Chains A and B, each alone.
Chain A
């Protein structure tokens, strides 16, 4: 791999352009009306043309980087990388994006929020472009989540419908969870390789594969890729996302965003791929997704849902191929990814056009549109041929290539899965392209006619590209497919893609089998649909319902947790808080050897003993008192006893303060409580009393132990001596306590004075302010009061 060279700086501008266009989109739409779509489409078109000019250098092996420091001291650089992989994605995003913006202009015509819709589409486009171009892991994460957010806004665009809202949240939650996996993966990769720059990461060779962190990184990357790229059973959000307006389905949920997961797997393939885990898990999940998607598609009658389920299937096929990990399989994956983007984008737009013009997209309510919508019919046929994997379309080439890859890898079971899946894709492709158009004309809710230019342009262009890619296969392969495959494998890839088979090869035989199976299934579509439907109904449960159950379960669990941790009773809060305080004090004392030495029994004088006895008896009285008044008075006894102890130990100031506080609090409490139920007995059950006693006793014991410990060590008298020395000489006060209060620590006193003032104000407010009435007009009151 060559060392990166600097990329032209216009790439940053190309990335910024959709965001800027999104800002002005509503205004542009208001000013220019129908022409606004074409004006806005110029933005992605310009970027597309710009990216085209890079094809040459990149095909020659250049890897271009550019960017700017985002948070240098944290090692985050907003850096972009253009290589074979990101360039192809960038072309898809801007190219199909151009068509989609134009298409949306027609599709949303007359919608009151069409400008806002354009804005969201452009925001998404910028985010998606950033996602594939990002060279920095954090930037990748930012863009990844940005696509989830814009997808959320677009799926829920029709916000008054509950289904749309649910689908939007479901997509946000599932892909958001994947985003968190991606973040963790990026950070772990950074830990394992020492860099979060992807181009440097992929150059580290076997470092991650040889690291202990491989498995967690692998699983987290899968978590990100499988949610975004809708792998079973995380795929449920994608069919539900069809609640979005069709331009969104065509752009985000088939051509671009859902491929972000595959992109991530491809991007990290050089450093994660090829391990037993990789080549086992990916093909299994991918294969299951392929089969599930195609079977579910058969069951649908809604054109969009049929297509959405085959998108799930195609993503499964891509994951399967990337999982096989050989060069040939990767070439097959690249070819299929491109083919899919062309035909599926086109088919979605066609489904939208039918819906828009005929008023329904239920395939059983449509028919005979071929005369009314001939251009749409023709482009649908072209796309379906590609989807079915028939010549002369790129879909055929891709299918041959992927069969070759599976065949070379010798994965027979996967071949069977792929053949079955592709056969069903053929069925759906033609069901979408033929059923609405053939047969007798059916009465539709709207009188159908050909769509306007905006709606038919996209399918025509994509059909032409799909055809052109196959006809000019050599050039397409050299400048698009092989550079991209090379970026995925991490080394130059050789492959001989062909449109016209030169000999009877295994892939050709497999193709013929696929087509034969598909034709049979197409003819038996109605019974097949009924059979699949019966089975699905028989099971009766699916991951979609599972999602609801998980969310409901989470909310229910959360409610239980809240009831437990926030019971609403102050007594419970106090018991828990004080109980935990006991643990907080006792645990370190015991665990860290901070228990005091056993104290010698103090040599008490008679008066000391008496005072202590009074204090203790006061406490006992508090506990055994039958009424609250007795308790309060008894507490006062203990307080006065402590004050006397202060006197005995030579602290008259303290003692005086203590006397005042005790007197006042007893008087005030007693006064207040005479207003309340003073005589009330203690109604706590015995168990509660025991618990309270243990907590109270524990807290007393804990504080006693800490105090003992502290008094057993000599006290550092630096401050005391300083105050003694300078109280009189500098501060001119003989009472050290007073000098401390007014001078040495005067600021504390100022603060406390403020506290007293505020307390007074607060009490005044409590007493004087009447219960508030709504200040602002509300529906109930109507008027300001």
Chain B
């Protein structure tokens, strides 16, 4: 009996992840009825895509069949995952600690906090995926993007998405670790990281447009290779980002896998260090006039 109780309460990564994901989804979605939530979930990303479309149309008079536009549109669409996962995890720490004031209870419960936080971040994946699908559908139907189920390289897309989501989740974990040490004044840390990734990964423009001094930053980010893999999977033969044009699909994927692994190790280490310091300084349950 005692052994089974111990087994019952032993924290596992999967249970912690699942609990975090379920809670994250509830917090994100249960404030409105499904229709209102659907409109809300789609409105922001579609507007962001709309800004780029109008900017592009203002200059090129609507030359949407250009590979530059396709690359920009796809990068912007899939970038939604970056904001949803990375910012979401940092924000989860502030929410749990200062708004709901449950972080100390979570630490006291049989929960593996890093996996719980990754679950909180991944909860945004569902909403983000829905937005991405809507934006891609609009792109194909309204703007004539040449993407179709028959032309997509599905294995490459699945592998790219898998590694990409993992990389984003671990980046979010790093942000969450830093947020454990800072007050609510650092609320925008996740947004800042997401913004920097938007800029340096060449999400909406070829990396070559960046000043040469800034280009190396983009070349060490997993998001750069992730977006490149996605573009190549959706538009086979596309080599829009000329900085990576010489690489084969397998080469880009391998680099993405390696950078994801490096991000995972770095993020876990950083989170552990930050978490230990937060415990030592008694910061787990502090509030900073949220």
Do the two chains bind?
A: no
